[in-house]
Structure 1
Amino acid sequence: MYEKITKLIKKFKSNDPFVIANGLNIHIRYARFEDGTRGLYYKTLRQRFIVLHEDLSEEWMKFVCAHEIGHNRLHPGLSRFWLDEHTLSNPGKYEREANQFAVNLLIPDSLLLNGMTIYEAALVCGVPLELAHFKKRPEPKGNSWNSSLTK
């Protein structure tokens, strides 16, 4: 997962999920979901889409976009719709992995290496606090994937 994050950030020179989605040619759309869904990722006719709930705060839009990019990068070929209807698989595993991807994309390791707590870094980066615990604590070495990334 972390290698994929590193490659995306290097390729697009940003950890902004909207910049990355654009660079990956993933179309962003907005809709109103009545069932509590914040967003979804799907592919149809070789086109890839992220659909975000139109009433989300800016913080949540950014997180959900990063989460859906996580599905694109970590779970190619899988869709929540297919999992629900055709397998006995627990989609919770895939959601947890996408949350980990999003948090690790959005919170630079350099903030934690410079003494911030995970929750302080989440506040600075606009990551919802209830999801900050998904951040992997970096090893204290100078070659962290995003040690030079600044906000």
Structure 2
Amino acid sequence: MKEIRELACRLVQQYAATSPFELCDLLAVNVFQCELPAQMGGVSFQTEENNSVILLNRNLGKMERCYCCAHELGHVMLHPNLNALSIAEHTFLCVPRFEKEADYFAACLLIEPHLAEWNECYETLTVNQIACLSGLPLKVAQLWVANR
């Protein structure tokens, strides 16, 4: 998990950007909002021309969309040639591990650059406060806290 945190921090420093949407623009990752099944927040894949694409469910709220974009960017950066649907169908690879890694990347991207600012307001932050401030699901904030 240390390598994932370092990658997220390196991207933020290199591009001076903390927004996953801005990072996608800078990294030439195409992001589109479209109709997806209700249970699906987003999906990422590479085209035959090796272009990275992220599809986000257009019915997501602003904070959910930001988290889903960060999560899918995690897949693009960490698992560039893997597609969860084909992995589950055609291999014995562990899809939950890839999802956990993408969640951790999203947490590092959406929490770490803001932590000093948030701690000025609060002496110590609870995991619930971190989740609320970052817009992350509680389980993702818990993953970040457990691995920092």
TM-score, with length taken from structure 1: 0.82
Distance (whole Å) between structure 2 residues aligned to residue 49 and residue 73 of structure 1: 12
Identical-pair percentage: 27
Secondary structure, counterpart of 1:107 in structure 2:
helix
**Counterpart check, 1:119 vs 2:128:** yes
Q: Which runs of 5+ in 1 are unaligned?
A: 140-151
Code of the aligned partner of 1:94: F
SS at match of 1:123: helix
Describe the SS at the equivalent of 2:36.
Answer: coil
1:55 aligns with 2:59: yes
1:73 aligns with 2:77: yes
> Would you say how many aligned residue pairs link Structure 1 and Structure 2?
139
When the two chains are superposed, the root-mean-square deviation of aligned CA atoms in Å is 2.1
SS in 2 for 1:115: coil
Partner of 2:17: helix, strand, or coil? Answer: coil
The answer to which structure, 1 or 2, has the higher relative contact order (CA under 8 A, 6+ apart) is 2
Q: 1:15 aligns with which of 11, 14, 18?
A: 18
Return the alpha-carbon distance in structure 2 between the equivalents of residues 131 and 61 of structure 1. Answer: 15
The structure in which a higher percent of residues are helix is: 2
Deviations 1:12-55 (A, max 9, x none): 21221001111110001111112511100000022111000000
Asked whether the equivalents of residues 67 and 101 of structure 1 are also in contact (C-alpha less than 8 Å), the reply is: yes
Deviation string 1:88-142 (CA, Å, 9 cap, x unpaired) is 2221111111111111110124346952223212212222334321214687xxx
2:29 equivalent to 1:26: yes
